[in-house]
Structure 1
Amino acid sequence: MFKRILLPTDGSTTAARAAAVAVDLARRYGAQLEIVSVIDPVPFVSFPEGGGEALAYYLEAAEEGASIGIKAAEALASAAGVGFASHVLREHGPAVSIVEHAQACAADLIVIGSHGRRGLDAVLLGSVAQKVLTLSKVPVFVVK
């Protein structure tokens, strides 16, 4: 049923739960796991004076989160005997990058964690999972 499952991760607890589900599905269906983490190199429209330090801090934290998430998902996949490929995508717009990568790697399913943001948090911080659901032509399994 599934041959390639795309797992976006950001190193969060929610992404870890999604990784467990994705690995289980990949094991059950004999699918390959495609693990990605997206780092948006330009998360802010502009920085005030001294913003270069803030951007450097953001990028360092984003790289660390990506590494943590990918390594954790790889460990789960290895333990379950699931084949995988891992990628860090450094592109603007995580949701669009995830959907484009799903198409490029011919994923049959996207398994993504959702932080469950509501109200003002959802407006200010956005919901990558919601945007992926809206943009994707591939089925999306959302783990809360």
Structure 2
Amino acid sequence: MYKNILMPIDGSPCSEQAVRHGLELAKALSAKVHFLYVLENPAQAIWITPESVPYGLELLEDLKRVGEEAVGKALNLAREMGVEATGEVKEGLPVPTIVEESARHDLLVMGTHGRTGLDKLLLGSVTEGVLHRTKTPTLVVRCR
């Protein structure tokens, strides 16, 4: 039924819980997994002056390194569990990038913190944004 599973990750403990859950499911189904870390360019989110450009580029490189480490950690866990997996760091806006990638998979597995109230308003929810836009069946892992 599900042979290609997409697992967006962000390196957080919540994301790691979702990865473990998704990998257990993938192993049971003999499915392949693709990990996706979406790197949002900080230049798009904050105001950058000409003087701060070198720092912005350094920040972007640091963020890429964090993404690559998260993907590497997830790939190692998949290998340990005997699940075939690939992974990538892709630059873009998280929700549309995940939705676009999800169209090429049978199942999407994501974690959520389950924020409510002011936290939800201020921090938003990538998972909720994806749920409202994707047509791919989605398993949401509520984190402790």
Answer whether contact 1:37 1:87 (CA < 8 A) is retained: yes
Q: Determine the structure 1 residue equivalent to 2:17.
A: 17
TM-score (norm 2): 0.86
Separation in structure 1 between the aligned mates of residue 111 and residue 56 of structure 2, nearest angstrom: 25
Answer whether contact 2:27 2:83 (CA < 8 A) is retained: yes
1:88 aligns with 2:89: yes
Q: How far is 1:61 from its partner?
A: 4.0
- 1:55-76 CA-partner distances (Å, limit 9, x unpaired): 3454244223312221111011
Structure 1 runs (4+) deviating above 4 angstroms are 48-51
Answer whether contact 2:23 2:81 (CA < 8 A) is retained: yes
CA root-mean-square deviation:
1.9
Q: How far is 1:132 from its partner?
A: 0.8
TM-score (norm 1): 0.86
Answer whether contact 1:16 1:69 (CA < 8 A) is retained: no
Q: Determine the structure 1 residue equivalent to 2:102.
A: 102
Separation in structure 1 between the aligned mates of residue 84 and residue 15 of structure 2, nearest angstrom: 19
State which drifts further: 43-52 or 134-143: 43-52
The size of the alignment, in residue pairs, is 141
Over the matched positions of the two proteins, sequence identity in percent amounts to 33
Answer whether contact 1:8 1:36 (CA < 8 A) is retained: yes
Which amino acid counterpart does residue 22 of structure 1 have in structure 2?
G
Question: 1:53-72 maps to which residues of 2 (within 5 A)?
Answer: 55-56=56-57, 58-72=59-73
- Alignment gaps of 5+ in structure 1: none
Separation in structure 1 between the aligned mates of residue 69 and residue 115 of structure 2, nearest angstrom: 22
Answer whether contact 2:68 2:88 (CA < 8 A) is retained: no
Q: Determine the structure 2 residue equivalent to 1:77.
A: 78
Q: Determine the structure 1 residue equivalent to 2:45.
A: 44
- Alignment gaps of 5+ in structure 2: none
- Secondary structure at 2:45 match in 1: coil
